[in-house]
Amino acid sequence: MRRTIPALVLAAVLLLVGCGSTAAPAPPAAGPSAERSLILATTTSTQDSGLLDELLPAFTRDSGWQVKTLAVGSGQAIELGRRGEADVLLVHSPAAEQAFVAEGTAGQRRLVMHNDFVLVGPANDPAQARGLDSVAAVSKIAAAQALFVSRGDDSGTNAREKDLWKKAGITPEGGWYQATGQGMGATLRVASEKAGYTLSDRATYLAQRDTLALDVLSEGDPGLLNVYHVIEMTTKAGERVQPDGALAFADWITAPPAQQQIGSFGQAEFGQPLFIPDAGKDEAGLGT
Amino acid sequence: MLLDGLSEAVRLLLTGDEDTWSITALTLQVSLTATAVALLLGVPFGTALALGRFAGRRVLLAAANTGMGLPPVVVGLFVTVLLWRSGPLGALGLLYTPTAMVIAQAVIATPIVAALTAAALQQVDPGFLLHMRALGATRTRAMGALLAEARLPLLAAGLAGFGAVVSEVGAAQMVGGNIEGQTRVLTTAAVLATSRGQFALAIAFGLVLLAIAFAVNLFVTLAQQREEAKGAGASQGAPATEERTAPGSRPSGPARSSS
C-alpha cells in the first residue's frame, strides 16, 4: 500500500496535467490560428436525430471553430443564452424566441429549417384520434382519458403541445397525463412502452421508428409546423459571449452548402429528408 | 438484446473503434485523476477526523459520513453554477472540460475516502500510536506506520471512491456536457445511446464500463496482494498482515493486536 498509493497518485497527477493541457479552452480573444471553441445550445431533436453529428465536423473544418454542443430543451437553451452561457442557439420555440429577442440581449435571429410535429400513439388507437387534425385529436385523447406522455420540460415540443391543449380548451391533468421531464428520444420510449400518445418532432420519431411501437396518427395540419431558428448572442448577455463565433456559425448554417447538407440528411436512411432547409425564405409561407 | 450488446461491446473493442477507445480512455483519465485528488485530500482529512482532538470533530465526522451519499447531480449543479461564465470562477473557462469533471468527481469522492479512512484508522488498536512513539518513532513515522497498518481498508476507501465516480452520470453530464470527443464518458455515452434508441450500443458502453472498473480493481488488488506476499516472506512466515517495515522498531515490528 505504501508503495502502491504514491505510484497511483503520481500516475494520476500526470494524467491531470495531461488533462489540463489538452482541455484548456481557448480564451475568447484568441487569434484565428488558435483553437477556438464556441458553445451551441440546441434542442434534443437536433442531437437525437443525428443531424449535428453530420453538420458540426463540416463547420469546424470550414471555420476553425470547435463546437461544444449542449443538447437541452429549447426553454433551457434560451435560458443559457439569456445568462450568456452559450454563444449561439439553434432552437424551435418561436413564441418564446420572439419574446427572448425582444429582451435585447440576443443579436440576429434567422430562419434555418423546418420539419413538422407528429402526434403518435399505439396502433390500436384507443382514443380514435387517427386522421383527425391535431386539436381534434388531443380533444379525443382527453375525452377518452387515454394515456398521454408529455415532455414536461419547457422544450419547443412541450410548448407546442401545451399550445394544442390550449386551442382545444382543455387543461390536461389526472392520471392519464404524465410528464417525463426528459428529451424526445426518452419520451418516445416511455410512450411506446406504456402504449401512450405523445407529440414528437418528425426527425426524432423517424430516426427511432424501428424500435418504437408507435404509429403516426395525426400530421400535416399547419398547427404542427416545427420551425428552427439560429439566434446569435451578444456581449449584452454576458461579457464572455463570443459574438464572432456566433456570427460564424449562424452565417455558416444559413449558407448554401450547409443548407444542402440539411436537405439531404436522412434521405438515404429514411427515404425522406428529416428537415427542410429554409434559410432566406419567408416564414409565413412555410408548409404551404 | 443483451447478447446483441455483448457482441457489440466485443466488436467495438476488438475492431479498435476509435470513438469507444477515446471515450474509455477519457473515462479512466477523469475518474482516476478525481480519485487521486480525493485520496490526496481525503486521507489526511480522514486521519485528522479519526485521531485529531479538536472541537467539532464529531460533527465533521458525521458530515463526512453524510457526504458519502452526496448525490452527484447536486454536486454537478453546484460546480456548474461556480464555473458558469457569469459565476465566480467563470474567468477560468473550465465548464464543459474534463478538468471540470475531475473537480466535480473529486468533490463526490473525497467524503467517501475521508469517511472510510476515518473508519479504518479508528479500528486500529488505539494503543498502536502510543506503542510506536514509545519505541522511539517520530510522530510522522508513527503516523505512516499507522496508515500502513490500515492499508487494506484504505485501499477499499480508494476503490470505493473510484467506483462512485466512474459510475456516476449526473455530475459528468452537467459539468461535462457530454460533448463528443471532449467530455463524453462511458456513462453519458450510454445515456445518449439510450435516448437515441441505440440499445445494443448503450449496453456495450455499459459492459465496457464494467470491464474497466473490474480491471482497475483487479490491478490494485493484485498489486496489493503481491506486496502482502512479499511482506510475509520477508518476516519469515509471520502472518501476511504483519507490519514489515515499521520504522524505528525491531525487525519483527509491533504485534497487531486487532488481527
pLDDT at B39 over 50: yes
pLDDT at res. A34: 53
Task: With residue A193 as reference, give the H or E element that holds it.
Answer: helix A184-193
Residues A98 and A192 in one domain: no
Instruction: For residue B4, tell me if it sits in a domain.
Output: no
Residue A169 and residue A143 share a domain: yes
pLDDT for res A20: 42
Confidence of residue A6 (pLDDT cuts 50, 70, 90): very low
Chain A residue closest in CA terms to B93: A25
Task: Give the lowest-confidence range in A16-25, A58-67, A125-134, B60-69.
Answer: A16-25
Give the closest of A3, A15, A24 to B32, CB-based: A15
Domain assignment present for B55: yes
Residue that is last in its domain, among A224, A240, A259: A224
Which of A135-144, A267-276, B36-45 is predicted least confidently?
A267-276
A109 and A236 in a single domain? The answer is: yes
Q: Which of A176, A193, A224 is the last residue of a domain?
A: A224
User: A214 pLDDT exceeds 60?
Assistant: yes
Q: Which chain A residues are closer than 8 Å to B196 by Cβ?
A: 48, 50, 185, 207-208
What is the distance between the alpha carbons of residues A139 and A133, in angstroms, rounded to a whole number? Answer: 10
Q: Is residue B98 part of a domain?
A: yes
- Residue B231: per-residue pLDDT: 66
| A84 and A211 inside one domain | no
Judge if A110 and A231 occupy the same domain: yes
Residue A83 lies in a domain: yes
Q: Is residue B246 one of the residues assigned to a domain? A: no
The answer as to whether B168 is a domain residue is: yes
Query: Domain span at residue B162?
Result: 23-199
Q: Which of B36, B86, B98 faces A8 most closely, judged by CB atoms?
A: B36
Quick check: is A21 in a domain?
no
* Residue A13 in domain: no
Domain-embedded: residue B51: yes
User: Looking at the structure, do residues A196 and A247 belong to the same domain, yes or no?
Assistant: no
pLDDT band at B127 (very low <50, low <70, confident <90, very high): confident
**B27-44 average pLDDT score:** 96
- Report the alpha-carbon distance of residue B255 to residue B259 in Å, rounded: 9
Whether the predicted pLDDT of B76 surpasses 80: yes
Pairwise pLDDT comparison (A198 vs B237), residue with the higher score: A198
- Among A224, A240, A261, which residue terminates a domain? A224
- The CA dihedral of A150, A155, A156, A160, to the nearest 10 degrees, is 30
Q: What does the mean pLDDT of chain B come to?
A: 84
What was the pLDDT predicted at A287? 63
> Which residues of chain A does B197 touch, with a Cβ-Cβ cutoff of 8 Å?
185, 188-189, 207-208, 210-212
Whether A60 and A80 share a structural domain: yes
How many domains does the structure of chain A reveal?
2
Q: What percent of chain A has pLDDT over 70?
A: 88
CATH number at residue B138: 1.10.3720.10
SS3 of residue A180 by DSSP:
coil
Question: Is the pLDDT at A199 greater than 80, yes or no?
Answer: yes
Do A159 and A67 share a structural domain?
A: no
Q: Do residues B183 and B97 touch, judged by C-beta distance below 8 A?
A: yes
Whether A275 and A190 map to the same domain: the answer is no
**A15 and B33 in contact by Cβ < 8 A?**
yes
Same domain assignment for residues A231 and A136: no
Residue B250 lies in a domain: no
Q: Which residues of B touch A16 (CB under 8 A)?
A: 33, 36-37, 99, 102
What average pLDDT does this structure show over B140-150?
Answer: 85
Q: Are residues A108 and A244 in the same domain?
A: yes
Asked if A122 and A215 sit in the same domain, the reply is yes
Length reported for chain A: 288
Residue A232 belongs to domain with CATH number: 3.40.190.10
Look up the domain containing A261 and give its range: 36-114+227-280
Does A20 fall in a domain? no
Model confidence at B230, pLDDT cuts 50, 70, 90, reads confident
pLDDT above 90 (res B201): no
Residue type, B206: G
pLDDT tens per residue, range B244-253: 444 444 334 3
Q: Stretch B83-94: mean pLDDT, rounded?
A: 88
User: Hey, of B22, B31, B33, which one would you mutate to test binding to chain A, going by the most A CBs within 10 A of its CB?
Assistant: B33
Q: What are phi and psi of B56, to 5 degrees?
A: 85, 5
How many domains is chain B partitioned into structurally? 1
Chain B residue whose CA is closest to A21: B99
**Mean pLDDT calculated for residue range A171-185:** 92
